[in-house]
């Protein structure tokens, strides 16, 4: 791995020299992931900050995610990262809240970007003990994600150009329900074992969900980072929250963003339930930010439908798949066990989708009760900072 790092840093230094006329020595000072490092810049010009973030693509490091059979996906993730960084940095409303690319080359699979600082993330604060700060940062998080959607609305053609230049081909959405395949695997296996039987009209509701995912309406479509976990951000020196990690970024239905506050955080390792009144407040905070430029979200009926659709889509294509996977159930998710997290999220799905998808809501409710009984889960605590 050391040799691979040296090769990547040599390329990064060369790119900085080419783009900023700033020859410098680079040294890794923090390793966040196998392919993401904080790097000290020594001997550069005044145009180069003292530290930068260097990200390497899957062919540059021994990344277990890029094994044969899954390599294209991780090449796509790296290209998404570069494209998202370039696109969001063009949106003046987001200045200081997203990293700026300093140098990069998709073909060489190296991206050098601004270091947003060493402050805490929302996850760090949720796992600590300052309730007021946690609530304030959750609100900032919701507003920031809404600001990204609002700033990018109507500019998705520009993102398409940037993304095309980055290649390889991008998936149009990072969540596209597959016709309920994961749900039916769940029903035919694990759900049957715990005695959960769906109502007859579940398939009709699934078909409606899949149809909505296949043709997202343009008046609900904008760019989303699509992985807005509470650890993919940092509090900057001026106290504002800045966002990073765009590897799953895509132009997609804005309803999918709402799951980060309605469920919450369905893609995240750091999961715990939030009180219903807090979830409602965060949803309205996001909605207000998006509504600055997206008129469709101001319609109450359309909003209720979109929130329910997004949660139902996650349920049929992701959350039940987690419940199927034994390794995921046994993995710790922040302050909770994987089992407690799955049971809690399924229960929350039942509540969120009830106004629109009655059969799926009933299925989710019965599933949650069965999981809680099977696994002996009597109570699922919230984040430490909110207890």
In tens, the pLDDT along 117-160 reads 999 999 999 999 999 999 999 999 999 999 999 999 999 999 99
Please state, for a pLDDT cut of 70, what percent of the chain lies above it.
92
Nearest in space to 179 (alpha carbons), one of 200, 201, 208, 199: 208
The pLDDT tens digits of the residues spanning 56-106 come to: 998 888 766 655 555 567 888 899 999 999 999 999 999 999 999 999 999
Per-residue pLDDT at 224 exceeds 60: yes
User: Cβ-count burial of 79 within 10 angstroms (0-12 exposed, 13-18 middle, 19+ buried)?
Assistant: buried
CATH of 1-115, picked from 1.10.1740.10, 3.30.420.10, 3.40.50.300, 3.30.200.20, is: 3.30.200.20
pTM for the model stands at 0.93
- Per the model's pLDDT, the better-predicted residue between 43 and 211 turns out to be 211
Long-range contacts, 277-285 (Cβ 8 Å, 24+) = 278/135, 278/138, 278/386, 281/139, 282/138, 282/139, 282/141, 282/142, 283/142, 283/258, 283/307, 285/139, 285/142, 285/143, 285/146, 285/261
Instruction: Please give the Cα distance from 383 to 157 (Å, whole number).
Output: 39
- Please report the pLDDT score of residue 70 as a whole number: 52
Q: Is 210 exposed, middle or buried (0-12, 13-18, 19+ CB in 10 A)?
A: middle
Mean pLDDT of 185-208: 88
Tokens 């005695």 correspond to 195
State yes or no: pLDDT of 220 exceeds 80.
Answer: yes
Q: Kindly list the strands in the beta sheet with 25-33, ordered across the sheet, starting from the edge strand earlier in the chain.
A: 25-33, 36-42, 51-56, 110-114, 101-105
According to CATH, the topology of domain 121-386 is: Aminoglycoside 3'-phosphotransferase; Chain: A, domain 2 (3.90.1200)
Q: What does pLDDT average to over the chain? A: 90
In this structure, are residues 122 and 138 in contact, taking their beta carbons and an 8 Å threshold? yes
Residues in a beta bridge with 54: 37, 112
* Residue-range domain boundaries for the chain: 1-115, 121-386
């Amino acid at each position: 791995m050391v040799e691979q790092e040296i090769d990547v840093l040599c390329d990064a230094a060369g790119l900085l020299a080419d783009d900023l006329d700033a020859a410098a020595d680079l040294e890794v000072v923090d390793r966040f992931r196998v392919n993401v490092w904080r790097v000290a810049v020594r001997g550069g010009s005044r145009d180069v900050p003292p530290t930068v973030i260097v990200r390497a693509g899957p062919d540059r490091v021994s990344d277990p995610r890029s094994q044969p059979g899954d390599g294209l996906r991780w090449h796509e993730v790296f290209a998404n990262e570069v494209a998202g960084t370039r696109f969001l940095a063009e949106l003046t409303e987001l200045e200081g809240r997203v990293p700026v690319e300093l140098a990069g080359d998709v073909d060489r699979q190296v991206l050098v970007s601004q270091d947003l600082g060493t402050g805490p993330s929302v996850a760090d604060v949720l796992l600590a003990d300052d309730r007021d700060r946690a609530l304030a940062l959750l609100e900032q998080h919701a507003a920031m994600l809404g600001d990204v959607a609002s700033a990018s609305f109507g500019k998705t053609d520009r993102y398409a150009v940037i993304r095309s230049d980055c290649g390889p081909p991008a998936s149009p959405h990072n969540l596209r329900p597959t016709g309920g395949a994961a749900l039916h695997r769940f029903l035919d296996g694990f759900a049957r074992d715990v005695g959960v039987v769906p109502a007859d009209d579940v398939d009709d509701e699934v078909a409606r969900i899949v149809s909505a995912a296949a043709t997202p309406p343009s008046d609900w479509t904008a760019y989303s980072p699509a992985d807005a976990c509470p650890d993919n951000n940092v509090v900057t020196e001026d106290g504002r929250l800045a966002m990073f990690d765009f590897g799953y970024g895509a132009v997609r239905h804005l309803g999918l963003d709402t799951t980060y506050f309605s469920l919450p955080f369905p893609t995240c390792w750091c999961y715990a339930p939030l009180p219903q009144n807090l979830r409602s407040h965060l949803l309205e905070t996001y909605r207000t930010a998006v509504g600055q430029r997206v008129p469709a979200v101001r319609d109450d009926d359309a909003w209720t439908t979109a929130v329910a659709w997004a949660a139902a889509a996650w349920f049929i294509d992701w959350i039940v798949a987690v419940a199927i996977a034994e390794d995921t159930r046994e993995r710790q998710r922040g302050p909770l066990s994987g089992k407690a997290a799955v049971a809690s999220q399924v229960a929350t799905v039942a509540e969120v989708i009830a106004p629109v998808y009655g059969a799926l809501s009933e299925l989710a409710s019965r599933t949650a009760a069965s999981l809680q009984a099977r696994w002996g889960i009597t109570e699922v605590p919230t984040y430490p900072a909110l207890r």
